[in-house]
């Protein structure tokens, strides 16, 4: 039997992420696994040269990074406060680790999974995008197609109806 000791949970702080976090937490408790929660901030360097200066993009990126850090703290407190050894979550990261990366979302999720030696990636099929209730999300699609790590996808819209 395969041991699942490390679970990577990509989040975008949406309602979908909240739903997936609860599933991942329940699964990790049953498997006695460590959870690594990752948020990827898209690299804005690709927009350089579009009627804006690098300083403006850098300032925007810094504001977004600060917002991501605050959102991650709030997300962790809300969804992992009841996890075993909860007091170590934010201080030491012994049981739940929070990670913020910058770059291509799909690539960084996979790289992070490899870096933390994840045995499983648990993520939602959809994110914050507009057509997400109709189409399989492009991030989830990219991770499923390219990840060497097994991926468990959860469609929260279908599960909520049940």
The DSSP line for 25-44 is HHHHHHHT-EEEEEEEEPPG
Rounded to 5 degrees, what angle do the CA atoms 98, 41, 153 make?
Answer: 65
CA 142/CA 153 separation, integer angstroms? 12
Encode the chain (162 residues) as per-residue pLDDT tens digits.
689 999 999 999 988 899 899 999 999 988 889 999 999 998 877 666 666 666 777 788 889 999 999 999 999 999 988 776 543 443 334 578 899 999 999 999 999 999 999 999 999 987 655 444 444 568 899 999 999 999 999 987 766 544
CA 136/CA 126 separation, integer angstroms? 6
In a domain, 109, yes or no: yes
CA 77/CA 53 separation, integer angstroms? 36
Domain total of the chain: 1
Query: What pLDDT score was predicted for residue 160?
Result: 54
In a domain, 81, yes or no: yes
CB 107 within 8 A of CB 31: no
CA 31/CA 99 separation, integer angstroms? 21
Query: What pLDDT score was predicted for residue 132?
Result: 44
In a domain, 1, yes or no: no
In a domain, 142, yes or no: yes
In terms of DSSP bridges, do strands 6-10 and 120-124 run parallel, antiparallel, or are they unpaired? Answer: parallel
Query: What pLDDT score was predicted for residue 138?
Result: 84
CA 125/CA 115 separation, integer angstroms? 23
Task: Domain of residue 20: give its range.
Answer: 6-161
- Could you tell me the CATH number of the domain that includes residue 100? 3.40.50.620
The whole model's pTM is what? 0.83
């Amino acid at each position: 039997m395969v041991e699942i000791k490390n679970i990577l949970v990509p989040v975008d702080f949406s309602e979908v992420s909240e739903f997936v976090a609860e599933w991942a937490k329940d699964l990790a408790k049953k498997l006695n696994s460590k959870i690594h929660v990752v948020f990827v901030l898209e690299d804005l360097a690709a927009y350089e040269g579009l009627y804006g200066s690098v300083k403006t993009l850098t300032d925007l990126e810094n504001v977004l990074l600060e917002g991501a850090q605050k959102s991650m703290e709030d997300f962790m407190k809300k969804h992992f406060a009841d996890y075993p050894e909860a007091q170590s979550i934010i201080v030491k990261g012994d049981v739940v680790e929070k990670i913020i990366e910058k770059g291509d979302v799909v690539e960084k999720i996979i790289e992070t999974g490899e870096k933390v030696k994840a045995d499983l990636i648990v993520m939602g099929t959809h994110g914050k995008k507009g057509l997400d209730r109709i189409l399989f999300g492009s991030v989830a699609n990219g991770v499923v197609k390219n990840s060497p790590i097994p991926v468990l996808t959860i469609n929260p819209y279908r599960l909520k109806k049940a």
